[in-house]
Structure 1
Amino acid sequence: MAEAAPASDAHYAYCEALLRERDRDLWLACLFAPQPARRHIHAVYAYAIEASDVRARVSQPLLGEMRLRWWSDSLTDEAVESVRAHPVADALLDTATRFDLPRAELIALADAHVADLYDDQTPDLATLEAYCHMTSAGPMRWAAKILGASPSPVFDEAGLALGLTRILRAPPGAFYPADLLARHGADIHLDSPGLRAVHADLRHRALSSYESARRAAPTLTKGHEALLPAATVPLYLARMIGRDYDPWRGVREPSPLRRQWRLWRAARGVGL
């Protein structure tokens, strides 16, 4: 396979613009990373956003599977001209080569998002956690590697907290595990004490993972900045507590100022 040319500055700039438009908190979190590494972290998260957006961009699941398969194939055969013409794919492949990112994990993220295309209920909590590890913790691990950090469970805990919180911010749906629904006698289509108990279980799991990451963060010698996307998790979870909270309406977002303040404090505190 011929060695591909480095990605262009324009393609990296496209990744940053995409991140800033689609997830401003995540873009702000990346600002605390050292400048030389920042563009590469943008590429990683731009890829994660592209994969997560597939469901909203297709009219039927098969088309979504084809799109996700394109990403998987692109990570295997990067010399194809059409692949390098895609700005996010080009920047991602350049970053993956420079920092020896695990291609199997990159592909696993795209494969995991196939579950987004269908309304099949997640069978159990372990399956949901595996999904979060691939889709939310994966980019954190890759950002940490770009920053020169050694592998650590702290990135998986922070990523799990972030992934579960993202699911809880949306109305109840197929990602609520069937084993928890059965345990509480809950119906995913009905607001009930049982469904709220499932919501509470997931919220407690997210908070537990966040606290584990927060306690372990000071032990890291490098890569603290990779944890920052999870810094706003407590703000969202705190808004999900109380009898008047309605999971069907989703969580009301904390103000941009509060989220930015939380990110700044976490960055100054070296961790979460």
Structure 2
Amino acid sequence: DRFAAAMAAPVAARRVLLPLYAFNVEVSRAPWVTSEPMIGEMRLQWWRDALEEIGAARPVRRHEVTVPLAEVLHAPLASQLDELIAARRWDLYTDAFEDTAHFQDYLKKTGGRLMWISAHLLGAHVTAASAIVALGSATALVRFLAAVPDLEARGRIPLIDGRKGAVAELAKTALAAYPGRLRDHAGIPRKARAALIEAWQTRPLLEQIARAPERVAEGRVGLSEFEKRVRLFLATF
């Protein structure tokens, strides 16, 4: 979905979005390419070291993702991406989240942080940070809930409370915190809106889960292909 959003963005914005999204793919898949947590830790550390090189303005290790990433990322934001990697360590192990705060922090540091960095590099002002992080966190929640059956099949405990009422409450809480029309926010210039396109399905899917939380356990979170295409088209304006 992120790459579909990136390809729907203006060409100039793709130069920023594609390296960031590719970085996120590499980091998010690192814990899943091995059944050995220690090997997964080593893979994540490799990316943390790459970010340290970028943050210190040193020559970055050669990789098809690190080189273009170093061209668009500056030092302060490199440290924020490091927190994204640290949050992904949860994916390495079978432990449940400690509590709701831990789960929300995971969503914020993965989806929320990535959306904010993308938007900031495209010109979004810090006054818009909290709203953009909220949108990114809500988008991460939708993706996480859609992945629950797969996570359980892999031996994970994705939800603190998997009962339908608790799942519906997660969606309702995210809807209550959902930011308003960000395209009207003074701190988000038109160019930076490209970073928000990836949330084109977020609100309707949260509403779907709030109405029918059983869809999560059944693996039926999603919109029709027609509605997805229409919403993606509208999100580009």
Name structure 2 gaps, 5 residues minimum.
Answer: none
1:74 equivalent to 2:42? Answer no
**Aligned 8 A contact 1:165 1:206 in 2:** no
1:160 equivalent to 2:137? Answer yes
Considering only CA atoms, is the larger Rg found in Structure 1 or Structure 2?
A: 1
1:196 to 164, 168, 173: 164
In 2, the alpha carbon distance for the partners of 1:145 and 1:242 equals 34
In 2, the alpha carbon distance for the partners of 1:28 and 1:214 equals 23
Question: Structure 2 matches for 1:19-168, cutoff 5 A?
Answer: 25-78=1-54, 79=58, 83-84=61-62, 86-97=63-74, 102-151=77-126, 152=128, 153-168=130-145
TM-score where L is the length of structure 1: 0.74
TM-score where L is the length of structure 2: 0.84
Q: CA deviation at 1:143?
A: 1.3
Q: 1:120 to 1:160 in 2, by over 3 A?
A: same
Structure 2 counterpart of 1:10: none
Which fold has the larger relative contact order, with Cα–Cα distance below 8 Å and residues 6 or more apart in sequence?
2
SS at match of 2:14: helix
Q: Deviations over 1:193-224 (max 9, x none)?
A: xx111111111122223xx3234441244122
How much is the aligned-residue C-alpha RMSD, in angstroms?
2.2
1:214 to 149, 172, 180: 180
Q: 1:77 to 1:119 in 2, by over 3 A?
A: same
Q: Deviations over 1:109-161 (max 9, x none)?
A: 11110001111111222211111111101121111122111021111110111
SS at match of 2:209: coil
| Aligned residue type for 1:31 | M
Name structure 1 gaps, 5 residues minimum.
Answer: 1-24, 182-187, 189-194
Structure 2 counterpart of 1:255: 224
Q: CA deviation at 1:266?
A: 2.5
Q: Deviations over 1:220-267 (max 9, x none)?
A: 441222111112013323443556934322224323331121122133
In 2, the alpha carbon distance for the partners of 1:201 and 1:239 equals 12
Identity of aligned residues (%): 28
